[in-house]
Each structure stands twice: as C-alpha cells, then as structure tokens.
Amino acid sequence: MRQHNTRHAAGFTLVELIIVIVLIGIVAAITTAFIARPIEGYVDLTRRAALVDSAESALRRMARDIRIALPNSVRRINSPGGIPGFALELIPTVDGGRYDATSANPCAMLTFGSPDAEFDIRGAFSTLVPPISSTAYRLVINNPDATPTGNNAYTGTGGVITPAATTVTITRPATAAACAGDPNGDHINLSPAFTFGSGSLRQRLFVIASAEAPVTYLCNETAQTLTRYWGYTITADQTTVDTDVELVGAGATKARVADYVSTCSVTSATTDVQASGLVTLDISLADQGETIRLIHQVQLDNSR
C-alpha cells in the first residue's frame, strides 16, 4: 500500500507577501525621513558655501582694484540704463613714484606749465623694470576728480594725463647718468614732450597701463550677474559706457565675476580735504531658496 506525502511545498502565501511589502514600505518611509533631512542639510550647506565663496571672491577682486585705483578716479552710476544694479568705474594703476621737483639739473627736474621731455623719479619703480619704451603706459599727475567736464584723467584735459600716443621711456641712472639727480632713481623720457598742468603736493606720479585701464564692474540684478570690463577707451562721460553693449563697443574685454546676484549696491564717502574715502560694497547671492549677503568696506586713498 502506497503512502502519500502530506507535506505542502514551503513558500509565501499572497497575504503574507502583501504584509511583507507593507512592512518594508513602512520601514523605508521611516528610514527615508531620518536620512533625507541630513542629506538635504548637506546639499543646502554646500550650496550656501558655494554662494559665500563666490561672493567673497567677487568682493576681494573689486577691493583689490579699488585699492590700486588712481586717486579720485572711482565713480559710479546706480541703475545704469534703467536696470537695477550699479556700474562702478575706476582707473587702476600699475606703479607709481615721486618725481624730482628740486634738482638743479634741468633734465632731472620736472617742470610744469611748459613742455617737458625728461625728468627723474626719486627712487626706482617697484613694479616696472627698465628699460621700457612703449606707448602702452601713461603717466598721471594730480588727478583732481572724475567729473565728465573737469580737467582730469577721464577727460584728458588740463595736463593731468599723457596722451595715449606718447611714448614713455624709462631707464636706470646707469644709462642716463648725466641727468641722474638721484643715483638710485629711474629716468623718464616723453616723446613728444608733454605739458603737465600742475604739480602734486606730495610730488606723486602714477603709471597706468592702457591694456588694463579703465575698469568697470557692472552689476545687473535682472540678469543676476556681476561682470568686470577692462581695457576700453577712457571716456569722459560714464553714462556712455555703463551698459554691456556700450562697454564692448568701446573695446572692453569682459569676464564674469559672480552669478546668482539677487541684489547689489555700492556707496562711497569721500573727503577731498582728508584725501581719503570709504567704499562700501553690498552684494546678495541667491540660488534655489538659499540667500547669502556679504558687505565689504574698502579704504580709498585719494591723496594726490
């Protein structure tokens, strides 16, 4: 007589399978709630850190240009072209020194009010390394302001800045020993000779590079961008070079400094009597609900 195996095949019933799926779903939901928040927090923190880094880099770049700006060359326009933001313009310097105003040697002393083709610098330039002979550099003495109608570096009148076509030659005393009022100073030749209008109380002379000056920082809140423009034609009226189209048309090279700009402003307080000023830079960056705001103040040296 045959014996039948009464054992059933092992496995899940449909009810058991449904119960397991429900339990796994509950566990997954609970686990996700605990894991998602830290992940979201990490992503938000990373986004904030990126915004802060971008804003700090932009402010540091602007501060550097402001610190080396030609005295009384910083000017601004709020909401240029009717677009919320600002246009901050300045003329950066590449070097400077003190000219000889007392030497008994005519070719060492700089004279004012009449054409002068050569003079000495008290001491050597710190950045420029002679011998140099080029139209790429321009000399500025006693820049009084940045108005569109005055005698200043922007208008190019009043004997403040040498013309763009002037060849500036800088040599060491060893090559111009006959004119060396200062044995450690540099000697400058201008071709053609130039008439500087008035002297500086501190005998200060500044050198600018045409390829790098002037500089404009254009903040566009609508486009959420901060862009740096440089190397365009120096223009008397800033309102003619306060938009992207105008700056590029004037020959500017441009580079993006910051994105995600939600608000930006620049204010300045200057006192010509004190020959100093303070520029306040205020910028806010926003991305996917995260917003950061940084404020930076830069001391402005207007002594000329």
| Rounded mean pLDDT, 249-262 | 95
pLDDT at 33: 67
Candidate from 165-179, 219-233, 244-258 with smallest mean pLDDT: 165-179
pLDDT above 70 for 99: yes
Q: Which two tokens stand for residue 226?
A: 């901060």
pLDDT at 5: 55
pLDDT at 10: 60
Query: Which band of pLDDT confidence, cut at 50, 70 and 90, is reported for residue 2?
Result: low
Q: 31 or 208: which carries more pLDDT confidence?
A: 208
pLDDT above 70 for 179: no
pLDDT more than 90, % of the chain: 59
How does pLDDT run across 52-86, given as a tens digit for each residue? 999 999 999 999 999 999 999 999 999 998 999 99
pLDDT at 123: 83
pLDDT at 280: 93
Are 152 and 146 in contact by the 8 Å Cβ rule? The answer is yes
pLDDT at 218: 97
pLDDT at 45: 72
Using CB atoms within 10 A of its CB, is residue 101 exposed (0-12), middle (13-18) or buried (19+)? Answer: middle
Taking CA atoms, 295 is separated from 127, 138, 257, in Å, by 31, 34, 16
Residues 159, 153: Cα–Cα separation, whole Å:
9
pLDDT above 70 for 288: yes
pLDDT at 13: 80
Candidate from 20-29, 137-146, 236-245 with smallest mean pLDDT: 20-29
pLDDT above 70 for 273: no
Residues 145, 21: Cα–Cα separation, whole Å:
78
pLDDT above 80 for 154: yes
